Amino acid sequence: MPMVDVHDEAAMTRYTEFVRNSPYAQACQDPAWSQVKNNWQPFYFFLEEDGAILAAMSVLTITAAKGKKLAYANRGPVCDPRDVQLVKRMFDEAESYLQKTEDIFLLRCDPEVLNDPQLQAAYEKAGFIVRNSEKEPHATIQPRMNMRLDTAGQTEEELLAGFHSKTRYNIRLAARKGVEVSWSQSEEAVKAFYDTHEIMSTRQGITHRPLEYFQRVMAAFGDNARIYLATYEGEVLSGALCLSYGTCTWYMYGGSTNSHRNLMPNYLMQWEMIKWGLERGTRWYDFGGIFEIDETDGLYKFKRGFVGEDNVTAYIGELDRVYDDAAYQEYLNK
């Protein structure tokens, strides 16, 4: 059974090294992610050939419907998602264990691969349910559409030149008016960021994660995680949690207060995080998800100013393998 024994240090090291060094590396597939999602139970599966790992899949399970468990490989598996048969083999391996021991009703993944009709048809032919309805943009766990900036081979000056003129103006305005951006990994910085995140969530009428969640992210990912804070005359105006992993630097969470918003601190803060990605040598800067292209949505317009109108990335959505139809329908209807 190609499942990693979490108590076998050598096996976990081998698995983790493959996941982190793969060209398909994803932070949410790293074993460290289980420290963040600490109320889920982790399992780690892999395929190998001639002693070399070909593919891996980190799966988290939680009871979700009719007393049965959801098994979720967030942004997995770690392999070429266009290789449908390899993904199917990876699912077969995980299923052979989880269906027997964990009483799962669903095994799901949502790889970061662009959608196209041929790929979707191939997954459906392989026995997957593909969920990506544009009529229900909030129906998937992760947003299907992300806004990503391709920084490959570009200098800071070249990237700036590619931003919308208003975005460049706001970056420079913030710096000219005295906004300062710094980063830290300290507990004090996490709390300062959390305050901005809480204020922003209240202002927009949305829910937010507790402070402990962000503390776990920072503890789990170490030097790959930073808190960025934009300040003016010593007052924190905005904050962000940024994660750099594999080929991507990811603006994971953000927040802002209600003070001095005219100073455009978020623009300068984003620019400093983009520059960190350049320092790290990652190809992509990921501004995070959007659920729909909406010109009246301020967040969409903000991100569009950095990546342009043509850089909305629509992924294939969720790939489901279902083992209990009644539990699956109950889960979808929640």
Q: What are the residue numbers of the active site?
A: 37, 110, 209, 302-303, 318
DSSP state of 198: H
Count of beta carbons in the 10 Å neighbourhood of residue 278: 15
Count of beta carbons in the 10 Å neighbourhood of residue 133: 11
Q: Is the peptide bond before 77 cis (omega within 30 degrees of 0)?
A: yes
Name the residue with tokens 């629509």: 314
Give residues with Cβ within 8 angstroms of 243, minimum separation 6: 27, 217, 221, 224, 225, 249, 250, 252
Query: At 287, is the secondary structure helix, strand, or coil?
Result: strand
Give residues with Cβ within 8 angstroms of 276, minimum separation 6: 183, 226, 242, 244, 249
Q: Are 187 and 215 in contact (CB under 8 A)?
A: yes
Exposure string (b/e) for 289-308, b if CB count within 10 Å is 16 or more?
A: bbbeeeeeeeebebbbbbbe
Query: At 278, is the secondary structure helix, strand, or coil?
Result: helix
Whole-angstrom distance, CA of residue 232 vs CA of residue 259: 10
